[in-house]
Structure 1
Amino acid sequence: KHAGLEIFDVDQLTTHGGSLRLYIQKKATGKRPISPNVAAVQTSESNAQLNDMKIYRDFQDRIYKIKYDLLTFLIEQRRQGKKVIAYGAAAKGNTLLNFAGVREDLISFVVDRSPGKINRYMPGSKIAIVSEDRIRAEKPDYIVILPWNIADEIEKQLKYVRQWNAKLVRAVPELCIW
């Protein structure tokens, strides 16, 4: 609104658990009519109390708990001399690592199956991204699954790490070690 823009349509997407695609125009031109979808989404957001700051403060509290639980776990493993790596160079995991301030002193490297990511670094944290063969070579004690939404699928891919009693870790929605 401050820039003289208005939403004239909106699509609800299933991507990443739900997203909105907004269509915006200059309000002064107003060439496109306002879709009923805009009011429907506004009503839905109002019914979900998304206009109440409490929901955002509660969300912030949950996010900080995830951050502190992950850092506490990683620091404790470091103190015990355990090797911790991560699996999946996904954007959501990278966001978590950067938010928590995790660097390669706490997570040695990130494994990814995508050839385009291997031999690169996680943005911000600069943790190296390597191929999966490094898991067998280095036999880590813990593997943090960064794309937590597909942890079950990744667990199946990593069943071989149980040969040396490695444990899997998921930080979201809460710290889980198995």
Structure 2
Amino acid sequence: NVLGHVPDLNDFVAGIKVILKPGGIVTMEFPHLQNLIEENQFDTIYHEHFSYFSFLTAQRVFARHGVQLFDVEEIPTHGGSLRVYGRHIEQASEPEERVSELVARERRLGFEDLETYRAFSSRVRETKRRLLDFLVPTKRAGKTVVGYGAPAKGNTLLNYCGIRTDFLDYTVDRSPHKQGLLLPGTRIPVYHPDKLPWNLRDEIVGQMGHIREWGGRFVVPIPEVEVFS
């Protein structure tokens, strides 16, 4: 899972061409743009990722540097990823059927059309508005709002939505390395879970089910803002 972390993509892929021996195969994984857009996973966009790929884009980048992506697998890692297989273009042959199937699907989904990305941008903005629609009246009513977990992608969500301690009193995390610190940008404090009177919704609800006893509710912001008891 290196490709999205590379600042100079063309140099990196050109280097793969150089070091790949004749007859060799390179395999790489990266989060799939389809899942990011369909599941509104904009919170996975943060500083250590330079690029987010559809298969169409990856195919073009590798072909530009003499590598044919001849096979692809869809895997569940990181909310939905692609595992691609490449070889020297001089040794290219007919790609696997799932390559052509994925290319056709991505074209149907509009990954080559600017309007697809504009629609995604609009959906992200609507998520921000709906989250604030919940937070503003909740805080006006004198309620306390806290977060559970302090992952990197949480910082994308909080900073984009402008959520600081005026909306989120604090968050808790099981990692001792995060406790006693502040979230970057928002400066929201991180405490041990014992402070309360994980990424999986069912796990969090199961662990924190006791909050129902004092009228607590859960808020899940991604892919759509949902409030439940």
| Normalised TM-score (structure 1) | 0.75
Partners in 1 of 2:212 and 2:84 — Cα distance? 46
Q: Secondary structure at the match of 2:219?
A: strand
Give the unaligned 5+ runs of structure 2.
1-7, 15-60
Q: How does 1:89-168 map to 2 (within 5 A)?
A: 89-136=150-197, 147=199, 150-168=200-218
- The structure 2 residue matched to 1:88, chosen from 149, 152, 156, is 149
For residue 43 of structure 1, report the CA deviation from its aligned partner. 4.8
Range 4-13 or range 71-80, more displaced: 4-13
Deviations 1:72-121 (A, max 9, x none): 21121121111111111122222111110111111010111122211122
Alignment identity in percent? 37
- 1:11–1:113 distance in 2 versus 1, CA, 3 Å: same
Q: How does 1:2-151 map to 2 (within 5 A)?
A: 5=14, 6-7=61-62, 8=67, 9=69, 13-20=75-82, 36=95, 40=100, 42-136=103-197, 147=199, 150-151=200-201
Structure with a larger share of its residues in strand: 1
Q: Secondary structure at the match of 1:116?
A: coil
For residue 46 of structure 1, report the CA deviation from its aligned partner. 2.4
- 1:2–1:66 distance in 2 versus 1, CA, 3 Å: closer
1:173 paired residue number: 223
Deviations 1:104-141 (A, max 9, x none): 111010111122211122122111111111112xxxxx
2:4 paired residue number: none
Give the residue type in structure 2 aligned to 1:14.
Answer: P
Partners in 1 of 2:178 and 2:91 — Cα distance? 43
Give the residue type in structure 2 aligned to 1:49.
Answer: G
| Normalised TM-score (structure 2) | 0.60
Give the residue type in structure 1 aligned to 2:219.
Answer: V
Partners in 2 of 1:112 and 1:11 — Cα distance? 34
Give the unaligned 5+ runs of structure 1.
25-29, 137-144
Give the residue type in structure 2 aligned to 1:156.
Answer: G
Give the residue type in structure 2 aligned to 1:171.
Answer: P
Deviations 1:60-79 (A, max 9, x none): 11111110111121121121
